[in-house]
């Protein structure tokens, strides 16, 4: 009886071509259709591990950790200066799911600098901001604004420490005038002091004290006034 041989079933050739084209492990520079280029590690055809990406449209460059095609881990992002043709660092720190997350340092185009915590690409947590005018804020942040407790030092030497909300002084706080040797302790609402007590502190060493010292308040206890004001403030915001 004759033996009938059937041809072996084989996958289409493009299946084999696609398998060979899958990127996994360390690769040399890979160019995308739009001109972007990436050099580094891959896993299952996705950027994964250590690698460097250059975007053709902007000339920006990222070098650091990747996870399943997104920036994730520690890395630096820089942009190309169109005039000097040199790279200027924008952000160095931690990333998660292609956004700044964790601790990192951000360099603003106008020379300002932020060092601190991030969440979903926004300043959130504890951080320190150096402003262009010389002011420095250090404290709590939420969704890119000072929120919570923080300290703001001004170029003239004055400083405020206390509560913040939506980037403005809000709640119990203290405003120091070291040049006059005075302190305003009170309650702020949207950057405006609503009530408080102005007292002398370190007046003898102040460079420009007022002509006469502030009189002592003997009719009532300033601390008691502030305590009552704080209670009213807390009740109105609960």
Write down the domain spans for the chain. Answer: 19-97, 108-223
CA atoms of 42 and 22, how far apart (whole Å): 9
Whole-number pLDDT of residue 28: 76
Residue 43 tokens read as 């896993």
Whole-number pLDDT of residue 199: 83
pTM of the full structure: 0.77
Whole-number pLDDT of residue 221: 46
Q: What share of the chain is helix, strand, coil (3-state, %, to 5)?
A: 10, 55, 35
Whole-number pLDDT of residue 145: 97
Q: Please, what CATH class does the domain formed by 108-223 belong to?
A: mainly beta
Q: Which fold has domain 19-97?
A: 2.20.110
Whole-number pLDDT of residue 220: 46
Whole-number pLDDT of residue 118: 98
> Which among 232, 158, 213, 228 has a CA at the least distance from the CA of 198?
213
User: For residues 114 and 131, is the Cβ–Cβ distance under 8 A?
Assistant: no
User: For residues 42 and 25, is the Cβ–Cβ distance under 8 A?
Assistant: yes
pLDDT tens, residue order, the chain (238 aa): 566 655 565 665 544 544 555 566 676 788 889 999 999 999 988 999 999 999 999 999 999 999 999 999 999 999 998 888 899 999 999 999 999 999 999 999 999 999 999 999 999 999 999 999 999 999 999 999 999 999 999 999 999 999 999 999 999 999 999 888 888 999 999 999 998 888 877 666 666 666 556 666 554 444 454 555 555 555 555 5
Distance of CA 198 to the CA centre of its chain: 35
CA atoms of 160 and 31, how far apart (whole Å): 52
3-state secondary structure at position 191: coil
User: For residues 183 and 199, is the Cβ–Cβ distance under 8 A?
Assistant: yes
User: For residues 228 and 221, is the Cβ–Cβ distance under 8 A?
Assistant: no
Whole-number pLDDT of residue 25: 63
CA atoms of 148 and 152, how far apart (whole Å): 13
Q: State how beta strands 136-142 and 99-107 pair.
A: unpaired
CA atoms of 118 and 4, how far apart (whole Å): 70
């Amino acid at each position: 009886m004759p033996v009938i041989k059937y041809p072996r079933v084989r996958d289409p050739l493009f299946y084999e071509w696609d398998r060979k084209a899958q990127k996994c492990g360390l690769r040399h520079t890979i160019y995308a259709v739009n001109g972007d280029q990436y050099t580094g590690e891959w896993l299952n055809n996705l950027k994964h591990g250590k690698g460097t990406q250059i975007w053709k449209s902007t000339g920006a460059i990222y070098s650091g950790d990747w996870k399943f095609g997104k920036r994730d881990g520690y890395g630096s992002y820089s942009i190309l200066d169109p005039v000097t043709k040199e790279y200027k660092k924008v952000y160095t720190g931690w990333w998660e799911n292609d956004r700044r997350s964790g601790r990192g340092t951000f360099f603003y185009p106008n020379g300002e600098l932020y060092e601190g915590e991030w969440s979903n690409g926004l300043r959130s947590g504890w951080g320190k901001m150096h402003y262009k005018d010389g002011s420095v804020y250090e404290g709590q942040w939420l969704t890119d604004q000072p929120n919570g407790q923080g300290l703001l030092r001004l170029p003239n030497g004055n400083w405020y420490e206390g509560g913040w909300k939506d980037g403005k002084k809000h709640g119990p706080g203290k405003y120091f005038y070291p040049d006059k040797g005075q302190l305003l302790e009170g309650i702020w609402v949207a950057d405006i002091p609503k009530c408080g007590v102005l007292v002398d502190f370190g007046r003898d060493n102040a460079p420009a004290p007022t002509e006469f010292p502030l009189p002592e308040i003997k009719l009532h206890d300033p601390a008691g006034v502030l305590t009552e004001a704080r209670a009213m403030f807390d009740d109105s915001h609960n």
